[in-house]
Amino acid sequence: MVRLEVIFLGTSSATPTRSRGLPSIVIRRNGEFFMLDCGEGAQRQLFRVGSGLNREAVILITHLHGDHVTGLLGLLQTMSLAQRTREVTIVAPSALSRWLKTTAEILHIGLTFQVRFNPSRAGTVYRGRDYRIRAARAVHSVEAYSYLLEEFERPGVFHPERAKALGIPEGRLWARLQHGRKVTLNGRTVNPREVTDPPRPGRRVGYSGDTRPSKSLTRFFSHCDLLVFDSTFSSKDEEKALERKHSTAREAALLAKEARVRQLVLTHFSARYRNVGRLLREARSVFPNTIAARDGLKLEVPYQTS
Ligand SMILES: [Zn+2]
């Protein structure tokens, strides 16, 4: 069992409020650490939620608007002050590397570790041993991407009694079958499905970044276990959402419903709403399994049982 946890560091939009910081989300999985956007103040929030800075780290930036990136330089500086030596991977629109390089030079920030830079593009932008991260174009006022962390399918449960009944000796051959590979014994081929249950689906966690809803994002996020979607505005401010290329909470819910996701999390709330209860109600009337993010919220993403 691999633990998969999503932690909200900042849940406001462009302006922070007393209770909400600028956009940033962390996904923790098996000691690995993925940060989605890095608004100003994200590093302090990280300490608050108890996440260390010396893990395997991948930082994914959706687009180059200040509220989504200005925390990055401070975070990298703190990692250096902590003598980090492990490489950090950054996935972002390509101009980000220019900004980082220039600013680090002007401010005399020397990094103690390598930064591997993967420019964002539609398709797979990062690959781990048993998962990958894909990107799709979002619909915003500048080049913007949505991201999806997708675990690979896991082999089904292995039944030792079935293997024994087929006369397969315990050891190397069992391991092969458990990993979904065929074995041949005394001239007979045993298929892994004879001794294991069907493969179990991996989990999918999606993050829209700033965007209008779109057909292609609906497809991209199809059957997500957890979808975090731009919910900057209430339906009563729908024209603002259109004009500024954001979504309303209701639009997020309509997309979640059509994409058949399991759970929707609203985030990136405009500072104009002191209370987001109204946005939550608007979304729930369309897609009941919706929650509103708040700074510090931690969500565990369970495996699907059926
Ligand atoms: Zn934003």
Q: What tens digit of pLDDT does each residue of 201-223 get?
A: 999 999 999 999 999 999 999 99
Query: How is the chain split into domains, by residue range?
Result: 4-154+200-300, 160-194
Query: 37, 67, 230, 295: which one is catalytic?
Result: 67
> What integer is the mean pLDDT of 79-94?
92
CATH superfamily of 4-154+200-300: Ribonuclease Z/Hydroxyacylglutathione hydrolase-like (3.60.15.10)
User: Cα–Cα distance between 74 and 99 in angstroms, integer?
Assistant: 13
pTM of the model: 0.91
| 100 vs 54: which has the higher pLDDT | 100
Task: State yes or no: pLDDT of 137 exceeds 90.
Answer: yes
Give the C-alpha distances (Å, rounded to integers) separating 208 from 9, 146, 202, 213, 272.
Answer: 16, 4, 20, 9, 21
Per-residue confidence (pLDDT) for residue 254, from 0 to 100? 98
For residue 21, which of 60, 2, 47 has the smallest C-alpha distance? 47
Residue 166 Cα, ligand 1 centroid: separation in angstroms? Answer: 59
Task: State yes or no: pLDDT of 51 exceeds 90.
Answer: no
Residue 72 Cα, ligand 1 centroid: separation in angstroms? Answer: 15
Residue 37 Cα, ligand 1 centroid: separation in angstroms? Answer: 9
Residue 112 Cα, ligand 1 centroid: separation in angstroms? Answer: 30
> What integer is the mean pLDDT of 14-37?
93
Range 134-137 contact pairs with CB under 8 angstroms and sequence separation of 24 or more? 134/220, 135/60, 135/91, 136/216, 136/217, 136/220, 137/216
Residue 68 Cα, ligand 1 centroid: separation in angstroms? Answer: 6
Identify whether 67 is a catalytic site residue. Answer: yes
pLDDT band at 306 (very low <50, low <70, confident <90, very high): low
Residue 192 Cα, ligand 1 centroid: separation in angstroms? Answer: 48
Residue 75 Cα, ligand 1 centroid: separation in angstroms? Answer: 19
Q: List the beta bridge partners of residue 25.
A: 8, 36
